Structure 1
Amino acid sequence: MQDMLVVGGGYVGLSAAVAVKQAAPHLDIAVVEAAPEHVWQKDMRASAIIAAATKMLEVFGIWGEIQPEAQPITKMIVTDSRTADPVRPVFLTFDGEVEDGRPFAHMIPNAVLVRALRGVCDRLGIEIRHGLSATGLKTEENRISVTLSDGSALESRLLVACDGVRSKLRDLAGIKTVSWDYGQSGIVVTVEHERPHNGCAEEHFLPSGPFAILPLTNNRSSLVWTERAHDADRLVAGDDLIFEEELERRFGHKLGALKVIGERRAFPLGLTLARAFVAPRFALAGDAAHGIHPISGQGLNLGFKDVAALAETIVEADRLGLDIGSINILERYQTWRRFDTFRMGVTTDVLNRLFSNDVMPVRIARDVGLGIVDRIPGLKSFFIGQAAGIAARNNPRLLAGETI
């Protein structure tokens, strides 16, 4: 029987396994992943990782491996306009540094992050089983049993579900959600451009949704392009020339000629919040607990906050000789994380509804608000500190760069 079983071998699942095993090497931990073993190597996307999360990666001992392939975000600008507007006025700018030499975020290729996390799993002796999904769940007084797609079953003192926003385990555990669809999709694509971006990220608020340009290494940028769902499907499935023309209308010409690299994909956008994060011998983390709009770039980072809080809760309980799967222990994690998650979900929901429209009185009000923030240095510093996770209250130790 395992001490802890993690279902879901993405960034959050692997990080949860590493965080607990590193601090409590005597615990027996395994990871079950539905995807084939090498599929992660084909992921051409990148993710924005905030400063607090990079401190956790430093504690894991893998930031030195990741950093050469990470692009610091040194500046961010925010505009509000229509697609056809010849000029996009800048209403808000942020300098990217929150501490000496530490930018508020980095853009990291997904494959690089997973490779580093898998490497530390190997070094710590964490077993990863591939190609298996959960089909059944049974909770007993001292254990929880997971039936897998190959007919086998694994038993553990604690099960951590990191199996995504459509979590099968969340359903099997009987945890309900609050959710709705925005009628939008996020088109994710990487482009190459002639001129350097100098580490500057841009978020253009357009009537159909935000268009984010996120810098990557080597004169490349990752785009998160929000459109109404039917338009996004049409663009992704349509002619290359039309797609590139529509992209250029939104991107502009400031970085020269553009070239799309790799495939373009569209992901439906919605809000999903679990009504509970825990059950006896069971905990949710990452997108299984919360799926939010990408307008703030905080989705994955919320998952890393879950990991840090859950690991600290589990390890401290183990050191006191307590049962790590006890509902009393797990409720400490839920109390720690649920309000922050709810607040971020509400914030992204309000921001998306506020900025994804072309109602003139609303546009005037939001532009005035952005302008006020831009002119008050203390307020700007507060917002950037919150976004970077540095100024967050009651941060878990891993997010402060401290061992558990």
Structure 2
Amino acid sequence: MSESQNSLESAVPERRDLIILGGGLVGMTLALAAARAGITSHVIDRADPAELTAEGADGRASAISTASWNLFSNIGLARRLDKLGCPIASIAVTDGMKPGRIDFTPKQDEGTLGRMFANRDLRLALFEAAREEPAIAWHVRTEAVRRDRGEHGVEVELSDGRVLAASLLVAAEGRQSPTRDEAGFKMARWDYRHRAFVTGLFHEKSHDNTAWEIFYPAGPFALLPLLDDAQGRHRSALVWTVDENDAAGIAAMNDAMFVNEVAQRMHGVLGAISLSAPRMSYPLRFHHAGKVVDRRLAVIGDAAHGMHPIAGQGLNLGLRDVGALVEVLTEGMRLGLEPGDAQLLARYEKWRSLDSFMVMSVTDGLTRLFGIPGKLPSAARRLGMGAVQRLPALKSFFMDEARGMSGALPELLRG
């Protein structure tokens, strides 16, 4: 073969079914779920996987709903993750630790309300599975510098000079998605003027697999159960929401001051506490894309919708996107359509738009309802919570929502 022929062949882009921009929790789950259905993909991520999974690099944890756990199980991740997640057996919801709390505890045959995982453990499981999957071509420490979407396919040029091709481009780049913005998607956005402080805690008493959602006027204060560490120390994840005006002062606190402020808001429910993970913080904003598809483009996860963490549904909503997109593509390809077909994308958008909007509307409403200060609003909230506590049907409805088992679920999330 001549040198010119070699040069010509190297210039031909490697084509797969999907190009997924973003190899985070949602993007990599999509690649693995697609691979299980025989759909090939390029996954492009500018991050270094070794840095993302380094010990102590990320102290965050995620609540994985029952539906999301079904998805992980159906794509072969259960054996990697099963022993790493802490079951959530109940959720205690209270207005500032005043009387009138709600206890959500499913019946014995209904299973748990979800599982808590360290983000690092989720990433390790996803990345290990991706390395073993021939249907996934994983390109790291690089990013897209050119995205072309044409009538017959998409083409992406990477910062390292490689050119990749596919039938469909999927943006899973997170809240600041350049692909979504380049496509001109209109967004509904607002700033809650809140900041979430996230860390891990060691605590004296066992959490008994209970998650606490304590509402204060400045924002919710969540304690989420984690497995005991190797030394047998009890642990929980903390998500503390504060007013943006107070955030700088809290960020400037040393660890002892920070722990003291946290302890005051816990009212001793878990005994003495200390930090078990680095402190992180991020601003809380709402955004929702008016549409989630365009010509040969689908937008998923935080690139399509971002919400307040009050109900822990952000990642779970992205995983519902994954299940729906894979189901739509699989059924279409079985009929001879290609992944980028406009009919398939229209079906995906119709399916996801209403569900994501409803979840986000409820989350936003709760944030505003519990953020109203004063004794009268607090009394009204606690009256309503007391009514929910006494009505089994209402409690079951809210528990199904928490488990992600409501609505038109994709096959992969049904169990």
Normalized against structure 2, the TM-score is what? 0.91
How far is the alpha carbon of 1:137 from its aligned partner? 2.0
Cα distance in 1 between the residues matched to 2:66 and 2:262: 30
Partner residue of 2:35 out of 21, 24, 31: 21
User: One-letter code of the match for 1:134?
Assistant: A
Partner of residue 48, structure 1: 63
Question: Following superposition of structure 1 onto structure 2, how do residues 305-344 of structure 1 map, counting pairs within 5 Å?
Answer: 305-344=320-359
Cα distance in 2 between the residues matched to 1:149 and 1:364: 57
Partner of residue 84, structure 1: none
How far is the alpha carbon of 1:151 from its aligned partner? 4.2
1:357 aligns with 2:372: yes
Q: Which runs of 5+ in 2 are unaligned?
A: 1-14, 229-233
1:6-60 C-alpha deviation (Å, 9 max, x unpaired): 1111111011111111111xx4311111211212213222100000111111111
Aligned partners of 1:205 and 1:211 also within 8 Å: yes
Aligned partners of 1:214 and 1:222 also within 8 Å: yes
1:73 aligns with 2:73: no
Cα distance in 2 between the residues matched to 1:400 and 1:123: 26
Cα distance in 1 between the residues matched to 2:270 and 2:365: 32
Question: Following superposition of structure 1 onto structure 2, how do residues 26-37 of structure 1 map, counting pairs within 5 Å?
Answer: 27-37=39-49
Partner of residue 130, structure 2: 121
Cα distance in 2 between the residues matched to 1:157 and 1:93: 48
1:116-166 C-alpha deviation (Å, 9 max, x unpaired): 112222222112111122333221111112233334432211111100011
1:131 aligns with 2:145: no
Classify the secondary structure of the residue corresponding to 2:279.
Answer: strand
Aligned partners of 1:71 and 1:106 also within 8 Å: yes
Partner residue of 1:108 out of 117, 127, 141: 117
How far is the alpha carbon of 1:90 from its aligned partner? 4.2
**Change in 2 beyond 3 A, CA 1:199/1:57:** same
Cα distance in 2 between the residues matched to 1:211 and 1:17: 34
Partner residue of 2:245 out of 219, 230, 248: 230
How far is the alpha carbon of 1:225 from its aligned partner? 0.4
1:49-101 C-alpha deviation (Å, 9 max, x unpaired): 000111111111211221111100111111112xxxxx63242110045x736
Aligned partners of 1:273 and 1:289 also within 8 Å: yes
Partner of residue 9, structure 2: none
Partner of residue 283, structure 1: 298
Q: Which runs of 5+ in 1 are unaligned?
A: 82-86
Cα distance in 2 between the residues matched to 1:259 and 1:216: 15
Q: Give the count of matched residue pairs.
A: 392
Partner of residue 50, structure 2: 38
Classify the secondary structure of the residue corresponding to 1:379.
Answer: helix
Cα distance in 2 between the residues matched to 1:108 and 1:90: 29
**Change in 2 beyond 3 A, CA 1:237/1:129:** farther
User: One-letter code of the match for 2:121?
Assistant: V
User: One-letter code of the match for 1:352?
Assistant: T
User: One-letter code of the match for 1:5?
Assistant: I
Aligned partners of 1:233 and 1:266 also within 8 Å: no
> Once the two structures are aligned, what percentage of the paired residues are identical?
39
Larger Rg: 2
How far is the alpha carbon of 1:107 from its aligned partner? 0.2
How far is the alpha carbon of 1:266 from its aligned partner? 0.8
Cα distance in 2 between the residues matched to 1:258 and 1:293: 26
User: One-letter code of the match for 1:127?
Assistant: A
User: One-letter code of the match for 1:32?
Assistant: I
Aligned partners of 2:90 and 2:113 also within 8 Å: no
Cα distance in 1 between the residues matched to 2:385 and 2:267: 22
Aligned partners of 1:190 and 1:220 also within 8 Å: yes
**Change in 2 beyond 3 A, CA 1:136/1:362:** farther
Partner of residue 7, structure 2: none
* Segment of structure 1 superposing worse, 231-240 or 278-287: 231-240
1:4 aligns with 2:23: no
* Segment of structure 1 superposing worse, 231-240 or 371-380: 231-240
Partner residue of 1:220 out of 232, 235, 255: 235
* Segment of structure 1 superposing worse, 36-45 or 53-62: 36-45
Classify the secondary structure of the residue corresponding to 1:20.
Answer: helix
Cα distance in 1 between the residues matched to 2:82 and 2:248: 35
RMSD: 1.5
Normalized against structure 1, the TM-score is what? 0.94
Cα distance in 1 between the residues matched to 2:161 and 2:251: 38
Partner of residue 384, structure 2: 369
User: One-letter code of the match for 2:239?
Assistant: V
Question: Following superposition of structure 1 onto structure 2, how do residues 168-317 of structure 1 map, counting pairs within 5 Å?
Answer: 168-218=178-228, 219-317=234-332
Cα distance in 2 between the residues matched to 1:18 and 1:187: 31
Aligned partners of 1:374 and 1:380 also within 8 Å: yes
How far is the alpha carbon of 1:361 from its aligned partner? 3.0
